Structure 1
Amino acid sequence: MSTDSAVSAEPAPARRLLPLIVPALAVGVVSALVLLGVSLLADRLQDVLWETLPDALSIGRYSSLWVIVMLTAIGLVAGLVIRAVPGRAGPDPATMGLVDPPLPPGVVPGLLLVTVVALAGGVSLGPENPITAANIALAFWAGRRFAPGAPAELWLALAAAGTIGALFGTPIAAALILTETLASRPGTGALWDRLFGPLAAGAAGSLTMTLAAHPSFDLSLPAYTHTHWSDLLSAVVITSAGAVLGLAAVYAFPYAHRAFRAVRSPVLALTLGGLLLGLLGALGGPLTLFKGLDEVKELAADPDGWSAGRFALMAVVKTAALLIAATCGFRGGRIFPAVFVGVSLGLCAHALVDGVPVAVAVTCGVLGVLLAVTRQGWLSLFTAAVLASDMNLIPLLCVATLPAWLLVTGRPQMQLKKDGTPLR
């Protein structure tokens, strides 16, 4: 067969991409519904644990005693659930990233259950990692059942994109993250051909979540109208400081994980982790509990409501809480707590130097911490920018990314190999 005839026998790109639309939309919608269902259940349980129950016992809702008791109890319950459910709710979460190979479908119910417990109980982790893992497992199972000829990577990409689109309320986040993922993997075809299905899934996920829950990352920060030379210096310093703080947690990650594994019993390790989280919550205050998304909006609504020392304390406490929660065995993601750390750090910088614009301080703090914690450049830049929803900040953030990236690139990641050593 001639080369010309072989080329002509291949289907045109449009004919290859069109069949992806229906499964991509379906996966995106289901991914958003799983996220929405878990979030609603966690919110309802949170109301019971932090409002109804302490009121019935005549205990202050967020008193130090209740915070310590509740987080310790949540650790015990999570440990018991993990021990009881099939598959132990998945692998060690310290070894898992945001987008990983599919888990067995039998693991999903237990994984979602323990995620609801952690989210409702005030653990400093977000829903992104376990929800993405659950949706990938479900999409892979359904895809193998109804379209066995499709490549496994397709279902992984569609589920990841649908979940990320739902989490951030926009398919752009999914496209940016998967661009980095696809760039590191061999493949054929134009990049946008490879992103076609995931982008459709991300759009379906984000639209479903937007119509159902109206999520917003916009912190309504004061408008940033004009760039000054001093702002450029401030941006570089704050972003680099955020990267250093994030790297401190990254370097401590394997040591904390090793300490909890030395306990041997997962139930005891999670109970101990819950106790430590409770002590940190009592020290840092209620705003340092939970995943952090609602809490950063409260911080940003009153940038002058706390002192520089208080903002610094909250940043350090949340960093320590993220480190403990991610290494003792709780299931959850690290993006949302890292955003809280960055916002607190940025507001600390603004409180120390009043001339630093709030929007610059907050977005650069988030950018630096996320670069260290996630090692995802596009995700970090996108998240920082979307918090302010101000295009005037984009050039400043791009410049601030460069020195911070030099600090974090080549360093260990906040994820471990099976043997407990950090990924690089």
Structure 2
Amino acid sequence: MAQETTQQAPASAPTAPARALLPFILPAVAVGVAASLVFVGVSTAAEKLQHVLWGPLPDALGVGRYSVLWMFVMLVATGVAVGLVVWKVPGHAGPDPATLGLDAPVLRPGVLPGLVLVTALMLAGGPSLGPENPIIAVNVGLAAWLGGRVLPRAPDALWPVLAESATIGALFGTPVAAALVISEALAGRPMRGRLWDNLFAPLTAGACGAMTTTLVAHPTFDLGLPPIGHPHAGDLLAALVVAPVSAVLGMCAVYAFPYVHAGFRRLRHPMLMLPAGGAVLGALAAVGGRLTLFKGLSEVGQLARDPEGWSAGQFATMTVVKLAALLVAASCGFRGGRIFPAVFVGTALGLCAHALVPAVHPSLGVATGVLGMLLAVTRQGWVSLFTAAVLVASPTIIALLTIASLPAWLLVTGRPQMQLREDGAPVR
């Protein structure tokens, strides 16, 4: 029995020779650089449009940039603009975004221009979604289309994996996130050879994507919060409370997701669903304020720069409003991902815990709040741990996050995910 177990262990798998891996380097480098440039290009265009829509335009109209009126008008207008593209542009901007996760399907080339356009409009207009899901889908489609023509003998499955890894590396500015996502995906699939042999090409693409983004856009996830120092028993208790509470709150949105999605689907037309979603988002923005708009990454930085600048009630309001905005935006048809707004929700919840109990270190509150929220919303364990850790530059927090992830994971595993099948049933 022991001999049989040894033979089946992953360590017994043969190592691929270097000549088998070398041909993948150039395709991985090309996909990594191209995927990063697509991400940076769409993000830059969206930022420039956002600057106009939320700056000179309301100023010229004599309306406050983030007044209740302008937030409502802009979110409804964004719904109308995205609805027009989904309705009229060939490909209809891809499938229902509620059915998509990080592992995007290969879309035909004719779908991609519309998907790029609605992503830029969404990022500029204020809905609470990030760029990750649609940008991954665009890069996967481009890589499969171009790669199949340039290297027709390469396996068809190669291009989606390279594009997904490259885009995740570009999004987070490090290939570590890509390696974690791909290794988690490979854990449920049969592999030929060693894990690192299978990760070689995706890791190359992720590294090139991350380095390109770093050189071009200089991203950073470190919030600049004070380091936690040497942990003590109170920190452990706080971590074991905040992360599960955050996970439970996130699961409330997950359980509500199919019902909210079904409610918008009853409107049956993108020119009804998306403007209606924009109207709901405008009402939520009136309650939560301007920090609850957009994907949430720069807004998280504003919260972290002054953890004492808001009361516990204000942090709680932003937490609930942003989570509700994420739920509505993901349900009504806006194309976008859920990771970045979930980071804002977790950050606001962690700072709320610090405001309620000052003994909870702000860095610990933020990291464990983000950890629990991402576990519930994404069901990606490694990405949740990684994202929570990089927000707080404190090596001592890793152990606390690992321990906190255990009860939080028990609360979310085996339960519905924030992703639906085509029939509207939640993925488990």
Q: What is the TM-score when the length of structure 2 is the normalising length?
A: 0.96
Establish whether residue 268 from structure 1 lines up as the match of residue 272 from structure 2: yes
2:227/2:393 contact within 8 Å kept: no
Question: Matched residue of 2:396: which SS?
Answer: helix
Aligned to 1:72: 76
Q: CA deviation at 1:149?
A: 1.9
Question: Matched residue of 2:336: which SS?
Answer: coil
Establish whether residue 172 from structure 1 lines up as the match of residue 171 from structure 2: no
Q: CA deviation at 1:11?
A: 10
Gaps of 5+ in 1: 1-9
Alignment match of 2:243 (pick from 239, 244, 268): 239
Whichever residue aligns with residue 190 of structure 2, its letter is P
Question: Matched residue of 2:337: which SS?
Answer: coil
Q: CA deviation at 1:101?
A: 2.1
Aligned to 2:402: 398
* 1:201-216 equivalences in 2 (<5 Å): 201-216=205-220
* 1:354-393 equivalences in 2 (<5 Å): 354-393=358-397
Establish whether residue 314 from structure 1 lines up as the match of residue 318 from structure 2: yes
Aligned to 1:220: 224
Q: CA deviation at 1:51?
A: 0.4
* 1:15-414 equivalences in 2 (<5 Å): 15-414=19-418
| Cα distance, 1:118–1:11 mapped onto 2, change above 3 Å | same
C-alpha distance in structure 1 between counterparts of 2:136 and 2:189, whole Å: 20
Question: Matched residue of 1:390: which SS?
Answer: coil
2:173/2:220 contact within 8 Å kept: yes
C-alpha distance after superposition, 1:55-82 (max 9, x if no partner): 0001000000100011011101110011
Whichever residue aligns with residue 417 of structure 2, its letter is Q
Q: CA deviation at 1:389?
A: 1.8
Whichever residue aligns with residue 54 of structure 1, its letter is P
Whichever residue aligns with residue 244 of structure 2, its letter is S
Kindly tell me the number of residue pairs found equivalent between the two proteins.
Answer: 415
C-alpha distance in structure 2 between counterparts of 1:101 and 1:48, whole Å: 33
| Cα distance, 1:376–1:129 mapped onto 2, change above 3 Å | same
Deviating more after overlay: 143-152 vs 62-71: 143-152
1:221/1:358 contact within 8 Å kept: yes
Note the aligned Cα RMSD (angstroms). Answer: 1.0
C-alpha distance after superposition, 1:332-362 (max 9, x if no partner): 0000000000000000000000011111100
Whichever residue aligns with residue 204 of structure 1, its letter is C
C-alpha distance in structure 2 between counterparts of 1:310 and 1:12, whole Å: 55
Whichever residue aligns with residue 27 of structure 1, its letter is V
Q: CA deviation at 1:138?
A: 0.3
Q: CA deviation at 1:100?
A: 2.0
Q: CA deviation at 1:12?
A: 5.0
C-alpha distance in structure 1 between counterparts of 2:46 and 2:15, whole Å: 46
Q: CA deviation at 1:106?
A: 1.0
2:15/2:193 contact within 8 Å kept: no
C-alpha distance in structure 1 between counterparts of 2:229 and 2:68, whole Å: 42
1:13/1:193 contact within 8 Å kept: no
Question: Matched residue of 2:92: which SS?
Answer: helix
Gaps of 5+ in 2: 1-13
C-alpha distance in structure 1 between counterparts of 2:109 and 2:81, whole Å: 23
Aligned to 1:13: 17
